[in-house]
Structure 1
Amino acid sequence: MMFTTFFLTLCPLLLMCLLVYLEMFKSAPVELGSKHYAEIPSMTIFLPEWLNMPFNTVINLGYAVVGAMWLAITSNNIDRNIFDETQSFLFYVFNWMALFYAPIQLLRIITQEHEFAVLDQWATLPFFMWVVISGATILNGWSTHRIIISILISIVSYVVVLLPIPGFEITLGLHIAAAIYVARALYAKYPNKMAKAFFVKACICCLGFIFLKLFDHQLGRLHLTFKYLSGHFLSKICDILQIHYANLFLLNIILTKNKDSKKKAE
């Protein structure tokens, strides 16, 4: 299952890379250059010139750490008969996404090239859509057609960035709203205190990510600390924690569902 989901997650990403390479999104508006980051060059004596934003660079390894950790947790839960095949599939794909996102964001920070900036934006959308898919699958059961259509809608929706409107912000906002809506529906059907706590924490991290990224430069003017540990750097911590809490939320929902199913079977 782990290797199957690896390729199933990698294939759409490779397709996105190909479309970006073919310059289909050459006119997509993205922020490029160190002027968009509050972090100032530091530790240049010890580090190579291309690593002029060390904190914003290193933090991206956190995506890989969280993704790898939850891949291991998923495998362990399969061995302990906590997850069935469908549930393990949902967790594997979500955390392969996290693992794959790490090098994309890392390359964007290091190179500041348009292609990696586009991929960074684009790869964000399926993250939230997979939460929607996971919730719909837990609530209504497996549907291959629903999963394929949902992912296609998520991927294709990025073309909105080519319109003369804040397309990415609108599309991302809709994805976030859909994920929150489905998460609330999950909690309504399988309520438990732990899931509620992790849902709230994930929402706080989501808001923190948005706030810290938008006010990166303003925070830098408040105190010298935010010139090193910048708003952008802190926003990535929120983003990584958001993925972690989303996993914990879904885990507790599934545990509650499995417990309820066992009671009914008895």
Structure 2
Amino acid sequence: MFRVQKLLSQVSLSTPTVGITRALASGASKYSTKPTLAKVSDKVKAERTGVKKAPKSKAVEKETEAVVKPAKKEKNKAKAPTKSELIENKLNSKKALLKVPPSRAPTAYNLFLSTANKEFRGNSTAYDLGTVSRAVAQKWKTLSESEKQKYQQMSDQERARVSEEVRAWWSTVDRSQVELENRRRRRINAASSSPGAAAGRAKLPLLVDPFAPKRPKPAFMVFFAEKRDGLEGSPTEKAQAAGAQWKALTEDQKKHYYEIAQDHADQYKKDAERYKARFA
């Protein structure tokens, strides 16, 4: 009551009614004994509301700092291909996975042809290949055996060198890569023989170790190898004649060839085990 009287004493009689109302309101808020929650401390808020503020944990503080200071964005890293994806890429490659050394050495005639071609062509870049080839073939026929022997010796040396290089390559090459390259070649060969593929494309030969044990011959092939020289005609005709003779044999007569074939099979099994043990 005393406070209201004090406010009224400060307001003149000439003050409008609205002004008096505003003065009383401002004075009331000025002298109010009930402070707002925004102007009191957290401790007072907890006492009045009954809810205590939980202290911030270190994890919450770190999360808050992370929100305030966002971490730098990591650069987008390319996803590493899986093992199966790498293999698939190799199988679809147009280039060979291995550099295979040549396995064939030039013959005596090939060496003579290479030398004679240069003599017939001379310094001229315009020449008929067919004419030169026929002239070289005719000259080869006129050579004596001693003259041909020189080229034969050169061919033998080249064959020995090539054989040594091939043997060294097969002894050090990764066999898993050889199998992968053969899978790639099989896929290419299958695609070239599929409907709609371009015609005339030669199939890629598979890589085969020439020093691996040879597979044993079956009984008929043993018989055919024995009779081949005594048969006449082309290789196909010889095979057909041997087939007819084989069918005419009795089981007792065939038994001899079956035993030889079995011996070859046993020997092949031993050789194959030793061969595989080299790369185990």
* TM-score, with length taken from structure 1: 0.20
**Structure (1 or 2) with the larger CA radius of gyration:** 2
Higher relative contact order (CA 8 A, sep 6+): 1
